[in-house]
Chains A and B, each alone.
Chain A
Amino acid sequence: MSFIDDFLASWREYREPGYYDGFDYHWTMSVDLDRCTGCGACITACQAENNIPIVGEDAIARGREMQWIRIEKYWEGEFPDVKLRFIPMLCQHCDAAPCETVCPVSATYHNQDGLNAQVYNRCIGTRSCAVYCPYEVRYFNYNNHHWDAPLEQQLNPDVSVREKGVMEKCSFCIQRIRQAKDVAKDEGRRVQDGDVQPACVQTCPTEALVFGDQNDPDSRVSQTMNDERAYHVLEELNTAPSVVYLRKVETDAV
């Protein structure tokens, strides 16, 4: 029965958070909710970088918005003691991702950098990953999208354009990671902290987003993970996300 024992052992290991620490990189993002103002710069930066289509008013009215990163907003209290809090919600790149187990064709899988990668040309569009994702960050191409000429000239040549029937989501700007790794490889070194930033991190005016390698203890993101304000959204689901949120500080001066 050693075969079964092996299988169970590796299964358990896979489910354990920290499994990916053994690999070269473990890309991680931290979001400081005390800094985030909800301005939405990240959304547009992401749209520009990742060829996210403009779906149009009707599609959004039908609940088919397409934004790999979105800002969720939650009101607290009633006028005049009312607060509005924002939280950027993007693919959490969970180490124990529910979406990865459910895809029948392995179109989404965990790569060795700790990324939850989506393979568009493997996707058959069962959409089960979107159901299984508790963060609701997977977006489906309900139809082919059209760019009014010449808007298509803006499309990023490093990123594919997805066709109808394909699920898509935040990739942590995998094309930029790839580029940084290529450069680092040419120079015979590891990718260093700050070499690579996804579009959202790069543009964030308040520097609320920090991106880096969790396996590098000196990286800024590792330090934010050690911050006592750090938490995971929906931690109780035990998905081991790679996006760390830092609690908003509310002093309640009154």
Chain B
Amino acid sequence: MASIDRRDFLKLVGAGGVGTGAGFMLREAIKHPVENLVPYPVPPEDFSPGIATWYNTVCSMCSAGCGITVRTREGRAKKIEGNPSHPVSQGRLCARGQAGLQVLYNPDRVTTPLQQTGERGSGDWLPLTWTEGLSQISGRLGELRSSGQGGAVCLLSEGQRGHMHGLFEQFMANIGSDRLVYYDYDHPHPLLAAMNRLFGTSELPYFDLGNTDYLVSFGADYLGSWLSPVHHGLGFGRSRQGRDHHRGRFVQIEPRMTLSGAAADEWIAAIPGTEGIIALAMANRIVSQGGYQGDDADAWAAALEPYSADAVAEQTGVAAETIARVADTFAGTGPSLAIGGDGAGRHSNGVDALTAITALNYLAGNLGIEGGLIFNPEPVAGQGAAARHASYRSMLELAEDAREGRIQVLIVNQANPVFTMPAAAGIGEALARIPLIVSLSSFMDETTAMADLILPSHTYLEAWGDDFPEPGVGFRAGAISQPVVSPLYDTRDTGDTLLAVAAAVNPDGALTAATTEEYLREQWRAIFERDAPTEEGTAQAQEAIAAETVEAAAEVVAQAAPEDDAAADAPANAEAAVAQVAPAEGAVATNPDPAGWMPDAFDEFWNSLLRAGVWGENTRAEQGPVTVDASVIDAIGVDAPEFAGSSETYPFILQPYLSLNMHDGSGANLPWMQELPDPLTSVVYGSWLEINPETARELGLRDGDLVDVESPQGTISVPVLTFPAIMPNVVAMPVGQGHSEFGRYASGRGANPIEILAPQVEPETGSLAWNATRVRLNPTGRRANLVRTSGLSRDLGRGIIQTTATGEAEEHASTKLRSIPITVEPA
């Protein structure tokens, strides 16, 4: 081979390099011109979205009964939205409602019938077939029934409404027992009692937040956990900024700032249990200033005489001027609204306090008007359910019966009293005396862990049901709950289980339906046939019913907030939302036009009901003048609250409040809820004890210091968190954590304040006065892992959240500004 010398080599290398470069340049040059140096990378918008199917059903994460729309793809539920045509949620949903998917897909569900083989609570479970499981319970129930001991069967369930309540009732009737007990930790017994006392109604009223101009809330966390937070949130937003030139104002009176307190324009700290006294002082002011001109004004004045603002200022911790000012504004602004919630109602004087608070609406003339308190009609179905709701006292009676052996079989359906009742009630020990406990729960919670037999139910996204929201929205509305996915596991609809048992125990009973679906169909047929033409089908009814489908949705929306500017587009919005998320037709099912009523049109009605998920009558009944009985006026008055424990030994009043994420603990097994920072403290995955920063400094406590919270009834350990908006002698703690069972996300996490509550009850209703326990704090010297997502919660004057006040707005004018003056009612 000819030798190549170095020069040749270099030449070749050089020539090669140049040639390569030139070739590359040429190739680049003759290509189409490259427009951008940085061409667009393809973003995820390149995805072609698949086709989703939407099902309307009802949220059962709390008792509000929001209508929801579930998006499914390939048979799997993917996302829950509010149902735009449902009058409660109106297309909106809270965090807990969103997390409903994790109830369905929870890794810790009970997937098959189980039998406890070891000792109770040992956790030795043997999987069964449904046939075996059902025959076990039916056999036992059959024995009891045939031996005339049917009354020894108790069905303890979470609250049921609508036709499901009827099914439960009939089931118990079939067994021959009257022990149908609903138990919800936060059932509003005191509020119902107050409503009953004042107005003789057994329904919760509709609080029209959306149209109110001045709301005074006495310890009602209406945006967080009280009654119907999503609907209240809608009202709050509309009252604030949804109406032109008109901004509603919100006052919150409570010892510890709740989510609603943070949202309020004015937050007034009051000593726990004195909310009702403040309300009476306001009433006193209104009456004495001539703000109330009714016939019974003198009676009121006499009854309220001891409650002058000056007299109560010291007792309540609220300055007399403040009370007077709020009272004057309340009476002088129309419509205004006073609401009392768990903060006021869960004391020994709870019903009296709520009566006093609700009476303010009477005095200020807020009854039956938009923006005030609107009475609800009796629901179409589910009457008598309220009477089945057990108070703390009746649960104690149940426990006593269990101890005395008067209960042979306990069927538990989703209720978890072992967790949500104080240790002082001894419910766990009482239940242990019951020979047979059958749980229908979907999860292994504390009560289910004590069961002998688990017949797991579907979650609400797999099950049938219907719901008539309570509190309603001022007119009759209902919603159907239907499966959105096929069952994931070997579980059954609660109704199906009960029907199967009923059929086995008493084949001749009234319950003839084979499935819940069939049962519901029959019940709804009754509703359908209710409007069968009686020849006098009135024009009015036709008019009411004429508004169908999308317009009806809009109507419902508009009805809730007719003056709403934003809601002026709400029809359009609702329409758009419907177009986007829901079937376009049949947004609301209504009863058919009586004129064209056909007996065989029921299938059509039923299908439209399933499609819309919502049924409504769409008319708000005229409400006549309301009078309050003179005897009620005479009896009005609020005693000083009683607390368990002396103030010397136990210097702090414990306020266990319902957590926004976990509610009464039923949300603790949802990872999204564990991971959602608590709105006021940013804590995730745990419990904490809120304490005033000053008090903490006096006690030498820092955030994260573990303290033993000791009440007369017991002790729990929990880390301290300084909280700027809590009274110095009050400590607060969220309910919801501290599960010993309930799956991997919940168990062994945090502490449960309910455990150490004293068995203090409100005497009239017997409901637990959960705010009436005193505690003391014993520092342990240890630190706990307090996980928070926030850094420093002070903005250091950086103007991150900017505020504006009336009249100042021009200063902030930017170049793109188009002036919409905001006016606020002068104080």
Contacts and interface: CB of A to CB of B under 8 A. Distances in A.
A and B touch in the complex (CB under 8 A): yes
B105 A151 contact: yes
A47 B804 contact: no
A59 to B, nearest CB: 10
Nearest to A230: B814
Contacts of B259: 37-39
Interface string A142-186: 000000111101111111100000000001001111111010000
B92 A37 contact: no
A239 interface: no
B801 A87 contact: yes
B661 to A, nearest CB: 8
Contacts of B573: 194
B820 A154 contact: no
B739 to A, nearest CB: 15
B11 interface: no
A77 to B, nearest CB: 8
A254 interface: yes
B460 interface: no
Interface in B812-827: 812-814, 816-822, 824, 827
B609 interface: no
A133 interface: no
A252 B265 CA distance: 7
Contacts of B581: 202
Given A37-B236, A44-B95, A205-B237, A156 B79 contact: yes
Interface string B441-466: 00000000000000000000000000
A95 interface: no
A2 interface: no
A213 interface: no
A44 B685 CA distance: 15
Given A60-B675, A151-B105, A245 B802 contact: yes
B95 A43 contact: yes
Contact of A249 (B661, B671, B694, B804): B804
B679 A38 contact: yes
A200 to B, nearest CB: 10
Q: How many of chain B's residues touch chain A, expressed as a range? A: 35 or more
A49 B805 contact: no
A73 interface: yes
B684 interface: yes
Contact of B794 (A74, A106, A193): A74
A251 B827 contact: yes
B553 to A, nearest CB: 13
A71 B677 contact: yes
Nearest to B489: A150
A117 interface: yes
Given A49-B79, A60-B685, A253-B265, A86 B789 contact: no
Contacts of A160: 44
A79 B692 contact: yes
Contacts of A148: 107, 744
Contacts of B329: 253
A195 B794 contact: no
A109 B49 contact: no
Nearest to B251: A253
B143 interface: no
Contacts of A73: 679-680, 682, 790, 793
A158 B49 contact: yes
Interface stretch (B145-153, B222-230, B403-411, B423-431): B222-230
B81 interface: yes
B161 interface: no
Interface string B39-77: 011111101111000000000000000000000011011
A15 interface: no
Nearest to A74: B795
Contacts of B661: 40
Interface residues of A, number: 104
Contacts of A57: 674, 684-686, 787
A75 interface: yes
B597 to A, nearest CB: 36
Contact of B43 (A86, A117, A252): A117
A13 to B, nearest CB: 14
Given A35-B236, A35-B241, A39-B233, A174 B43 contact: yes
Nearest to A107: B41
B105 A40 contact: no
A90 to B, nearest CB: 14
Given A48-B101, A79-B693, A207 B660 contact: no
B55 to A, nearest CB: 15
Nearest to A156: B78
A40 B81 contact: no
A29 B679 CA distance: 22
Contacts of A37: 223, 233, 236, 259-260, 262-263, 679
A199 interface: yes
A204 interface: yes
B827 to A, nearest CB: 4
Nearest to B575: A194
B247 interface: yes
A61 interface: yes
Contact of B237 (A44, A175, A206): A206
Given A40-B679, A79-B724, A248 B803 contact: yes
A87 B802 CA distance: 10
B43 A43 contact: no
A234 B99 CA distance: 33
B102 interface: yes
B38 A247 contact: no
B725 interface: yes
Nearest to B819: A228
Contacts of B727: 79-80
A85 interface: yes
Interface in B692-747: 692-694, 724-728, 744
Nearest to B100: A48
B543 to A, nearest CB: 28
Contacts of B42: 119
B257 interface: yes
Contact of B240 (A34, A231, A253): A34
Nearest to B788: A60
Interface in B797-812: 800-806, 809-810, 812
Contacts of A225: 816
B91 interface: yes
B584 to A, nearest CB: 12
Contacts of A82: 257, 267, 724-725
Contacts of A154: 76-78, 101-102, 104-105
Interface of B: 38, 40-45, 47-50, 73-74, 76-82, 91-99, 101-102, 104-107, 223-224, 229-230, 233-234, 236-238, 240-242, 247, 249, 257, 259-260, 262-263, 265-269, 325, 329, 488, 566, 569, 572-573, 575-577, 579-581, 660-661, 671-677, 679-680, 682, 684-686, 692-694, 724-728, 744, 785, 787, 789-790, 793-795, 800-806, 809-810, 812-814, 816-822, 824, 827
The 9 A-B pairs at the shortest CB distance, nearest first, are namely A205-B233, A206-B237, A194-B576, A226-B818, A253-B827, A57-B685, A84-B262, A44-B95, A117-B43
22 contacts: A34-B240, A34-B241, A39-B679, A60-B685, A72-B790, A73-B790, A74-B795, A76-B795, A84-B257, A87-B800, A111-B45, A178-B45, A195-B576, A197-B580, A203-B94, A206-B237, A207-B92, A207-B234, A226-B820, A234-B800, A250-B265, A251-B805
Given A61-B787, A80-B269, 4 more contacts: A40-B95, A83-B267, A119-B41, A253-B827
Interface of A: 32-35, 37-41, 43-45, 47-49, 54-55, 57, 60-61, 65, 67, 70-80, 82-87, 106-107, 109, 111, 117-120, 122, 148-151, 153-160, 171, 174-180, 182, 192-197, 199, 202-208, 220, 223, 225-231, 233-234, 245-254
